[in-house]
Amino acid sequence: MPTRRLSPRPYAERKGRVWSLNSEGMSYVMGLSDSGQLANIYWGSRIDDETDFARPAGMRYPFELQSKMLREEYPAWGGPHYREACLKVRYNDRVRDCDLAFLEVSCGKSRSDVVAELGDEAYGLKVRLHYKLYDGYDLLAKHAEVLNVGRHPMRIESVLSAAWYLPSGRDWRLTHLAGAWGREMRLERDILTPGKKVIESRKGTTSHQANPVFFVDRGDADEAKGGVWFGCLAWSGSWKIVAEQDTYQQLTLVGGVNDFDFSYLLRPGECFRTPPFIAGYSSRGFGEASRKLHRFEVGNLLPRRFASSVRPVIFNTWEATVFDVDERRALQLARLSSRLGAECFVVDDGWFKGRKDSTGGLGDWVPDPEKFPHGLTPLVKSVNSMGMKFGIWVEPEMVNPKSQLYQAHPDWVYHFPNRKRTEMRSQLVLNLCDAEVADYVLKSMDELIGDNNIEYVKWDMNRYFSEPGWQRAPRGREQEVWVRHVDALYEILDRLRSRHPGVLFEGCSGGGGRIDLGALQRFDHFAGSDNTDPTEVLFTHEGFTMAYAPKTMLLCVGGSTNGLTGREVSLGYRFDFAMMGTLSMSLDIRGWNKEEFELAKRKVQFYKSIRKVVQNGDLYRLAPPSLDGICVREFVSRDSTEAVLFAFSHVLSKASAKTTVRLEGLRHSLRYGIEPGKVSLGGGYLMRHGVDINLGGDNDSVVYRLKGN
Ligand code: DGJ
């Protein structure tokens, strides 16, 4: 279908004080109410004719103040406000009532950047709401700046990024991601009835249990059709998203930094900036919502240097050696993995001083002289001479009490005086809010990378926060740890990236414990899960790709009998699965026979021939994962001339391992050669009739490459 070109009018202001932000497929309209509030009027599928939008007016309901029933762009707690608010403030004179009035709206040169100003003038509080429209993606990013332009300090008790209002209605369906270590990001679907549904992390980090994204539909959308409203928060600390369905047909979603145990002192002249909340609308189901996000992430968010380049094939030592990595073993694995076609060799945990197991060493970032008597340099040189990049595992935000760092600086961790310091995985969290500690982390990583020609860093984080006491905090700032830690982490990563621009960074947190749009601006990709059983991780891949681009998910070929699930999966299936993202291998290949080597080599070679399409193309989730069915994924190049089709069967009988799948995203005018095999089929046929997939029964897989001409 030809794309409808609309006149580029991203932003329009009408006399009646109604403003609309229009992208190709979405309109976001707000206006000024008679009572002086900036309120949302509409968010959804694009409406070309704006003339009918009237200024917002709250509905009249008994026991409610009309002006408080508006869809306020940035609701603050004050007056008879009973819904979830974005802002709650305590002023210096102990007044806890915030009364925000509209000041002005201005727009930047591109007319897709809009700033609205609100203020509580009596107290010198100003709020700047930033709107950035990403036209080609139908996405709108909102964030807020809260400024103290008065003469007295004030305390922020809650400051969320944005509020999103759905069209009037109820029984909306919320799709979100929930999980745990080893089974991250599984799809959950709830019908929203009056009340609140809170998804959140209070753990100091994004967490394995919930992920800061939402998808809302009327209950009738599927992968290919139906309206879907969605949003993702760009924040790697504690967060919350609240979906509040009231009894007047209004669904509101607010989200941002979690206000649990949080408070922020705002002195005169200071400003608090929230993380962005990026939301969009798809009229073509969940699949198109995901593709908009994927394209946006690759086009705008991922660190620029490697955003559109393909990721190397990685070999990681962890599953082969666990903590027993040393120069000899590493060299042996490096030689074997380079023969398989790996392009980056990563030495995982266990390489540094005092690291025999998880109980010691974190914090002391120098090679263990027993394991690496010559330091890392000779190993790095050998790896480089085999044509591979050298990568290293680190966990910079952590310390083991059994380490030289902790012995010298026991006060560098979060803790409360006279309270137990709870260890998890025998480790404590370093207090990055403290400039001295943050400097140490930056310096030790800077030296490690700079001194050793390290071109790849796997940055891990293996516990959540507890006892978040900041002993040397400036008076009244203790509860700012929840944002200051994340800000400091972002700054360290940003600095490292600018000092070492050629280094790829993998984000890991016991697998997928810290994946979000904030982390995605600093890490080139993420470890998806510590679970390497592809049958399980298919479900995580489903959830992950709802919000995050497939190339940002490292998929790992692990051992044949999975340590976590006990399931045996063929080598071919394990490779086929891991090709649906950034391919990595982490398993003991030292005892492999010739057949295993040859198969793995062929698979890696094949992956290299399709990875451009997988990593930079569009994903269509044609059939979901199931333990009694066939999961099908299709990746299509942006110009639709190439595609890769994956199918994985988990069936009760061989007979049910056959299906016909209709493809998407191809060109009707092209014929596509399909490999393996010598068939050539037309795009129209493939999309309307479909292609037959014959799998051999349970636990079988197949990958087809399609080339159009
Ligand atoms: C957790 C990670 O997810 C694993 O891949 C591995 O790096 C271990 N940590 C090492 O301690």
- The per-residue pLDDT for range 475-519, each reduced to its tens digit, is 999 999 999 999 999 999 999 999 999 999 999 999 999 999 999
Q: pLDDT at position 85, please?
A: 98
Indicate the average pLDDT of the chain: 95
What is d(CA 632, CA 649) in angstroms, rounded to the nearest whole number?
9
Mean pLDDT of 623-645: 96
Q: Using an 8 Å Cβ cutoff, are 67 and 100 in contact?
A: no
In whole angstroms, how far apart are CA 553 and each of 315, 604, 641?
15, 17, 24
Residue with tokens 């266990």: 350
Q: What are phi and psi of 150, to 5 degrees?
A: -95, -160
Verdict on whether the full-model pTM lies above 0.85: yes
What is d(CA 264, CA 379) in angstroms, rounded to the nearest whole number?
47
- The per-residue pLDDT for range 118-153, each reduced to its tens digit, is 999 999 999 999 999 998 899 999 999 999 999 999
440 sits in which H/E element: helix 435-451
Is the four-CA dihedral 494, 496, 500, 503 of positive or negative sign? Answer: negative
CATH second-level architecture of 10-301?
A: Distorted Sandwich (2.70)
Answer with the residue of higher pLDDT: 13 or 374.
374
Amino acid at 677: G
Q: pLDDT at position 9, please?
A: 61
Q: What's the gap in Å between 353 CA and the centre of ligand 1?
A: 17
Q: What are the residue ranges of CATH 2.70.98.60 in the chain?
A: 10-301
* Other residues' Cβ atoms within 10 Å of the Cβ of residue 694: 12
Burial 235-261 (b: 16+ CB within 10 A, else e): bbbbbbbbbbbbeeebbbbbbbbbbee
Looking at ligand 1, which residue's alpha carbon is closest to its atom 1? Answer: 510
Q: What's the gap in Å between 451 CA and the centre of ligand 1?
A: 24
Looking at ligand 1, which residue's alpha carbon is closest to its atom 9? Answer: 510
In whole angstroms, how far apart are CA 580 and each of 315, 413, 652, 704?
16, 39, 25, 12
Q: Is the C-beta atom of 352 inside 6 A of ligand 1? A: no
Amino acid at 183: R
Amino acid at 240: K
What is d(CA 673, CA 140) in angstroms, rounded to the nearest whole number?
39
CATH number of 313-523+549-612: 3.20.20.70
What is d(CA 679, CA 517) in angstroms, rounded to the nearest whole number?
41
Residue with tokens 């009646």: 16
Which of 2.60.40.1180, 3.40.50.2020, 3.40.50.740, 2.40.50.100 is the CATH number of 630-708? 2.60.40.1180
The two beta strands, 113-120 and 101-107, are: antiparallel
Q: Is the C-beta atom of 226 inside 6 A of ligand 1? A: no
Q: Of 155, 232, 219, whose CA–CA distance to 191 is shortest?
A: 219
> Active-site positions?
460, 530
- The per-residue pLDDT for range 213-226, each reduced to its tens digit, is 999 999 999 999 99
Q: Of 283, 196, 287, whose CA–CA distance to 242 is shortest?
A: 196
Q: Is the C-beta atom of 393 inside 6 A of ligand 1? A: yes
Amino acid at 251: L
What is d(CA 115, CA 23) in angstroms, rounded to the nearest whole number?
17
Q: What are the residue ranges of CATH 3.20.20.70 in the chain?
A: 313-523+549-612
Q: Is the C-beta atom of 586 inside 6 A of ligand 1? A: no
Tell me the sheet residues that pair with 635.
619, 644
- The per-residue pLDDT for range 37-51, each reduced to its tens digit, is 999 999 999 998 888
End-to-end CA distance of the chain: 19
Tell me the sheet residues that pair with 707.
642, 673
- The per-residue pLDDT for range 249-286, each reduced to its tens digit, is 999 999 999 999 999 999 999 999 999 999 999 999 99
What is d(CA 268, CA 153) in angstroms, rounded to the nearest whole number?
6
In whole angstroms, how far apart are CA 50 and each of 20, 42, 137, 168?
8, 11, 21, 19
Q: Using an 8 Å Cβ cutoff, are 579 and 607 in contact?
A: yes
Q: Using an 8 Å Cβ cutoff, are 314 and 342 in contact?
A: yes
Q: What's the gap in Å between 394 CA and the centre of ligand 1?
A: 10
What is d(CA 415, CA 261) in angstroms, rounded to the nearest whole number?
15
Q: Using an 8 Å Cβ cutoff, are 210 and 261 in contact?
A: no
Q: Which of 181, 315, 318 to mutate to test the pocket of ligand 1 (most atoms within 8 A of CB)?
A: 318
Q: Using an 8 Å Cβ cutoff, are 241 and 198 in contact?
A: yes
Mean pLDDT of 84-104: 97
Q: Of 699, 647, 643, 698, whose CA–CA distance to 675 is shortest?
A: 643
- The per-residue pLDDT for range 531-543, each reduced to its tens digit, is 999 999 999 999 9
266 sits in which H/E element: strand 264-266
- The per-residue pLDDT for range 62-88, each reduced to its tens digit, is 888 888 889 999 999 999 999 999 999
Q: Is the C-beta atom of 318 inside 6 A of ligand 1? A: yes
- The per-residue pLDDT for range 573-627, each reduced to its tens digit, is 999 999 999 999 999 999 999 999 999 999 999 999 999 999 999 999 999 999 8
Q: What are the residue ranges of CATH 2.60.40.1180 in the chain?
A: 630-708
Amino acid at 5: R
Mean pLDDT of 397-407: 98
Kindly report the CA angle at 616 between 612 and 621, in degrees rounded to 5?
105
Q: Is the C-beta atom of 349 inside 6 A of ligand 1? A: yes
Length of the chain, in residues? 709
In whole angstroms, how far apart are CA 270 and each of 151, 265, 266, 381, 612?
11, 9, 6, 49, 46
Upper half-sphere CA count for residue 282 (Cβ side, 13 Å): 24
Q: What's the gap in Å between 460 CA and the centre of ligand 1?
A: 7
Q: In this structure, what DSSP letter does residue 699 have?
A: T
In whole angstroms, how far apart are CA 646 and each of 343, 574, 630, 631, 703?
24, 12, 10, 8, 5
Secondary structure (DSSP) of 503-570: -EEEE-BTTBSS-STTGGGT-SEEE--S---HHHHHHHHHHHHHHS-GGGEEEEE--SB-TTT--B--
Q: pLDDT at position 15, please?
A: 64
Q: What's the gap in Å between 355 CA and the centre of ligand 1?
A: 13
What is d(CA 271, CA 311) in angstroms, rounded to the nearest whole number?
38
- The per-residue pLDDT for range 302-353, each reduced to its tens digit, is 999 999 999 999 999 999 999 999 999 999 999 999 999 999 999 999 999 9
Q: Is the C-beta atom of 184 inside 6 A of ligand 1? A: no
Q: Is the C-beta atom of 306 inside 6 A of ligand 1? A: no
- The per-residue pLDDT for range 186-233, each reduced to its tens digit, is 999 999 999 999 999 999 999 999 999 999 999 999 999 999 999 999
Closest ligand 1 atom to residue 530 Cα is: 3
In whole angstroms, how far apart are CA 167 and each of 64, 248, 643?
20, 12, 37
Q: Output the six-digit token pair for 502.
A: 């050629």
Q: Using an 8 Å Cβ cutoff, are 87 and 81 in contact?
A: no
What is d(CA 128, CA 96) in angstroms, rounded to the nearest whole number?
20
What is d(CA 310, CA 301) in angstroms, rounded to the nearest whole number?
16
- Strands (DSSP E) along 46-94, which ranges? 87-90
* Other residues' Cβ atoms within 10 Å of the Cβ of residue 594: 7
Looking at ligand 1, which residue's alpha carbon is closest to its atom 2? Answer: 510
Q: 3-state class of 114 per DSSP?
A: strand
Q: Using an 8 Å Cβ cutoff, are 215 and 326 in contact?
A: no
What is d(CA 515, CA 541) in angstroms, rounded to the nearest whole number?
13
What is d(CA 486, CA 431) in angstroms, rounded to the nearest whole number?
11
pLDDT greater than 50 at residue 7: no
Helices (H) and strands (E) in the chain, counts: 11, 38
Mean pLDDT of 548-566: 92
Residue with tokens 């790095």: 380
